[in-house]
Amino acid sequence: MALSGLQIQKLLPKTNCKECGSNTCLAFAMKLAAKKANLSECPYASDEAKQILGAASEPPVKGVAVGEARIGEETVLYRHEKTFVHGTLLAVNIDDTAPDIDTTLASIRDYKLERVGEVLMVDAVALTQKGDDESFFTLVKKALEVAERPLIIRAKSDSAAAEAAKLAAGTKSVLCGATADNAAALRKLCEEYGHALAVTAGDVDGITALTEEFKAGGFNELLVEFNSESLAEAFQNNSIARFAAIRHSLKPLGYPALRFIEDTDLLEGTVEAVTEICKYGGVCVLPSFDPAQLVALMTLRLNIFTDPQKPIQVEPKVYAIGEPDRNSPVFVTTNFSLTYFLVSGEIENSGISAWLVIPECEGMSVLTSWAAGKFSGTHIAKFIKESGFEAEVDTREIVIPGYVAQISGELEESLPGWKVLVGPQESADIEAYIKSVLTK
C-alpha cells in the first residue's frame, strides 16, 4: 500500500542535509509520496527504508511479461480513479486435432485492426493438446514458425509441457496448469526456458496457497487461472482477487488472471470475453479465430484501457492526404485523434489530395487548445517553420478551422507570404467548402 509523506519521513535520516536537492527530509518525503523523486537520491537512506519503500512502491498487481507485452501492474479498482495500465491480452486457442491449422495460424498472424491511429493485433496463440504428443509438438513448432506470437501452452502431461516449453524457449510464453502436484516441475521449466506460469485452482484459497508457495521459493512470474464453472463465478473470483490485492495489499492474489473461454457459442463466448476485459482479465483466450468477434473485443479493450487523463492523440507532423504535390491545398487542425480523423476523412471524401498540418496541441480539440494557448497563430507558424514544410510546397494558402477565425491575422503576421483562409466550423462541411472555394 502506498505510504503517506509523513510515514515516509519517519524512515528518513531527518538531518535535513539537503543533498537530495530538497530543503528538508519532509519535503523529500512528500516528493517520494507523490512519486516525483527516487529514494536513491538520498545517500543516507537506511537499508530498512530501502526495503520498506521498495516494497511499498511495487504495484499491488504484479507485472508479468508475455512476449513483448506486459500485463498486471494495476493500481486501481476502477478506471476513473486513475487509469488501467495494461490491456487484457487476447489470445486465440487452437488444438492439435483442428483442421486447417496452418490457415488459422496465418490468419492470426495477419489480422490487424486500426483504430484511432493504433494497430491492434492478436496478442498470443493458445495451444491445447487433445491428441498425442507428436501432434502437439508439431502444432507448437508450426505456431512458433507461422504465428510469430508468444504461446499459452496447455499440455496434457508434464512431460509434454516440458518439451513444448523447450521448443518455445525465449519467447516469454505461458505454461498453464500448475497445481500443488506439479508445481516444482513446471516452475523449473519456466525458470529454465524463460516463461511465466499459470497456477490453477478452483477457488481463491487454493490459488493463494499456490502463489505463496511459489513466491516463497523465489519464483514470481505468475498468472492465476481460476477453475470457474460459470460466468458469475469467473466474475466473482476475478473481482475478489483484484479487490484483495488493491484494497488490502494481499500479495498472494496480486497476479494477472488468465481465462480460457470454453463456450464456443459466439454470443455466450463474447459475453464472457467482455467480462474478462472489463473485470480484471490479464489474458483472455478465445475458443476460435473470429474476426467479427475480435473487432468488437479489441475496440472495447481500447476504450477500457485508454488513460482517461490523456486525450487520444496523433503524432504532430504534416500528413499527406492522398498524393499531394507542391501545389496542393494545405489545412491545419489539432492533434486530438477524433479531430484529425474527422478532418482527414472529410478531405479524403472530397476526392482531392492535400497536406494536413498537425502541430502539437496536447491532444486537445480546436477550441480547447486555442483557449489553452496551444493553437495560436504563432504556435502554428512556429511548427510550420521548424518542420521545414515551407520548403516542400509552393502553396502559400492555409485553411484554418472556422472556430478559430480570430487567429487568422496573427497567423498571417507570423507566417509572412502566406494567405490564411478561414474554413468551415464543422468538419462535415469541409467537402462542400473544398468544392465551393478551393476547386471551383
Tell me if 13 contacts ligand SF4 by CB under 6 A. yes
Taking the least distance from each CB to ligand SF4, the nearer of 5 and 67 is: 5
Residue 21-60 contact track with ligand SF4, rule CB under 6 A, x = bound: -x--x--x-------------x-x----------------
Nearer to ligand SF4, 45 or 207 (CB): 45
| Nearer to ligand SF4 among residue 20 and residue 122 (C-beta) | 20
**Cβ at position 53, least distance to ligand SF4 in Å:** 12
136-146 in b/e form (b: 16+ CB < 10 A) is bbebbebbbeb
CB atoms within 10 A of CB 316: 16
Select 41 or 263, whichever has its Cβ closest to ligand SF4: 41
Answer yes or no whether residue 20 interacts with ligand SF4 by CB under 6 A.
yes
Contacting range for ligand SF4; rule: CB under 6 A; set: 15-23, 88-96, 247-255, 300-308: 15-23
CB-based contact 63:72 (threshold 8 Å): yes
CA distance 212 to 192: 21
In the complex, the smallest distance separating the C-beta of residue 44 from ligand SF4, rounded to whole angstroms, is: 5
Distance CA 408, CA 419 (A): 9
Residue 8 or 207 having the CB closest to ligand SF4: 8
Helix (H) / strand (E) element for 90: namely strand 89-95
H or E segment to which residue 386 belongs: helix 377-387
Closest CB to ligand SF4 among 45 and 314?
A: 45
Query: Residue 171: helix, strand or coil by DSSP?
Result: coil
Query: Contacting ligand SF4 (CB under 6 A), which of 15, 57, 138, 436?
Result: 15
Span from 16-24, 191-199, 218-226, 328-336 in contact with ligand SF4 (CB under 6 A): 16-24
Residue 331 lies near ligand SF4 (rule: CB under 6 A): no
Smallest gap, in angstroms, from Cβ of residue 233 to ligand SF4?
49
Q: In the set 18, 130, 310, 435, which binds ligand SF4 (CB under 6 A)?
A: 18
Q: What CA–CA distance (Å, rounded) separates 428 from 424?
A: 9
Between CA 125 and CA 127, with CA 126 as vertex, the angle to 5 degrees is 115
* CA separation for the pair 137, 127 (Å, rounded): 10
- Count Cβ atoms within 10 A of the Cβ of residue 291 and give its class: 0-12 exposed, 13-18 middle, 19 or more buried: exposed
The stretch near ligand SF4 (CB under 6 A) out of 11-19, 129-137, 295-303, 399-407 is: 11-19
DSSP 149: S
Residues listed for the chain: 440
Nearest partner of 177 among 144, 152, 147, judged by Cα: 152
Q: Is 19 in the site for ligand SF4 (CB under 6 A)?
A: yes
Binding site for ligand SF4 (CB under 6 A): 12-13, 15-20, 22, 25, 28, 42, 44
